Amino acid sequence: MFKVKRSALFLGLIVVGISMLLWAGWHNLRERKLAMQRAQQNRVELIPDKVAQSGQSTVEGEEPQLRGKAAPGFALTSLEGKKVSLSDYKGRPVLVNFWATWCGPCKVEMPWFEEFRKQYAGQGFEILGLADDVDAGKDVIAKVAHKTGVSYPILLTDGKVQTAYGGLEVLPMSFYVDKNGVVVEVTAGLGTKDEIEANIKKTIASGSSAGTPAKQVAAGGQ
Amino acid sequence: MRFGVVLAGLILGSGTLVAQMGSLDAPAAKPKQYVSFAAEPQTLKAGAKSVVELNFRVMDGFHVNSHTPKSELLIPTAVTMKPVDGVKVGAMEYPAGTSYSFSFDPSEKLDVYSGAFTVKLPVVAEAGQHTVDGVLKYQACDHAACYPPKSLPVQVVFTAK
């Protein structure tokens, strides 16, 4: 009799314990759902006012896993018809920027890039602008590039380079490649001018012990 | 022994449940489309000029160019429908866009659709049920980035009586 009572008590304790576990799980789920809803509401509300303050696009998780890895190589044709490879710039910090003629945010940052290119030319810094929409035609791409005032090489993409850089579901998309050919930073969407400059400085500083910059600059270039 | 089995079963079961609840932490899948199409069966008058409405919705936080964007560089929103027997299709009627500017470039005025928008398809249909397939082509942006042009398949089902 005592044994049966003890068993019933034991079972009761187990049921209570499991019930508490389930309740805790349900409560946790509910709290997380509410938190997600609040986060979602905040995200939508922030959009009109935070435009130029954040380089993050609305779609998260678009950046390919290239940070810290070797930048995929490419050999593309420039607007002038010249073959340009990423390997031509070995030993120099390079910003690989994907853009398109129909992309408003892209055209906002391009003049900033031009400014920084001149400012950091002494450190061998270069920019390669890769036009994503080659179907727009070379003339249109050249016209838009000219309008933004850029003088750095504009290259016509071949479809393969977009795939190599993660598919590019967002524009603008920038890959900051250091002297050693390693992707130091990846950004999707328009960032602030300060953020872009910080990334350029970081890229120039990265791998600086790899060699003598002056010598590398002389060896690089188109 | 029996209690041991019951206990193990309950613990395993609750563990699975908690693990399933934990899956909410997994990152949300990135959207493949920024516009959705609401397929609503419609009824029209057979043999008469009628209008089939195609109802779209742009995801919150995004906009797409209208059918008549203010720059030739921008990709207009456009619907094309495949011809189908028993249905004569007229020229698509697009709504007017709304004015929009990126805050980083207030001087450039864009003409966009955001939220819900309806494209009207004039038809003259023979009696019976008809299914017309088509494609919406658009290019979306949000507050700081743009997304490559997309195609959204649409299918309209309507009955002409």
Q: Which residue in A40, A51, A59 has the most chain B C-beta atoms within 10 A of its own C-beta, making it the best mutation to test that interface?
A: A59
Does pLDDT of A162 surpass 60? yes
Find out whether A161 and A130 touch, Cβ atoms under 8 Å. yes
pLDDT value of residue A107: 94
Q: Does A81 touch chain B (CB under 8 A)?
A: no
Residues B73, A190: C-beta atoms closer than 8 Å: no
Q: Where are the domains of chain B?
A: 31-160
Dump pLDDT digits (tens) for A60-78: 444 558 999 999 999 999 9
| pLDDT band per the 50, 70, 90 thresholds, residue A4 | low
CATH number of B31-160, picked from 3.80.10.10, 3.30.420.40, 2.60.40.1250, 3.20.20.330: 2.60.40.1250
Calculate mean pLDDT across residues B57-67: 97
Dump pLDDT digits (tens) for A44-57: 333 333 333 344 55
Using an 8 Å CB-CB cutoff, list chain B residues near A62.
30
Respond yes or no on whether ipTM tops 0.90.
no
Residues A222 and B67: their CA atoms lie apart, in Å, by 42
Dump pLDDT digits (tens) for B125-142: 999 999 999 999 999 999
Calculate mean pLDDT across residues A187-198: 95
Residues B161 and B47: their CA atoms lie apart, in Å, by 9
Closest C-alpha among A78, A102, A77, A73 to residue A89: A73
Does pLDDT of A150 surpass 80? yes
Least confident residue range of A13-22, A138-147, A190-199, B53-62: A13-22
Closest C-alpha among B67, B45, B71 to residue B54: B67
Closest C-alpha among A206, A11, A62, A180 to residue B7: A11
Residues A96 and A160: their CA atoms lie apart, in Å, by 15
**Partner residue facing B103 (CB), from A7, A52, A56:** A52
Burial degree of A88 (CB within 10 A; 0-12, 13-18, 19+): middle
Closest C-alpha among B113, B117, B54 to residue B80: B54
- The model scores a pTM over 0.80: no
Q: How many CA atoms lie within 13 A of B155 on its CB side?
A: 3
Beta strands A94-99 and A126-131: pairing type?
parallel
Q: Does A54 touch chain B (CB under 8 A)?
A: yes
Distances (CA, A) of A32 to A20, A58, B15: 18, 21, 18
Using an 8 Å CB-CB cutoff, list chain B residues near A170.
145-147
Please provide the DSSP assignment of A135-180 as one string.
GG-HHHHHHHHHHHT--S-EEE--SHHHHHTT---SBSEEEEE-TT
**Under 8 Å CB-to-CB from A85, ≥6 apart: which residues?**
A73, A74, A75, A76
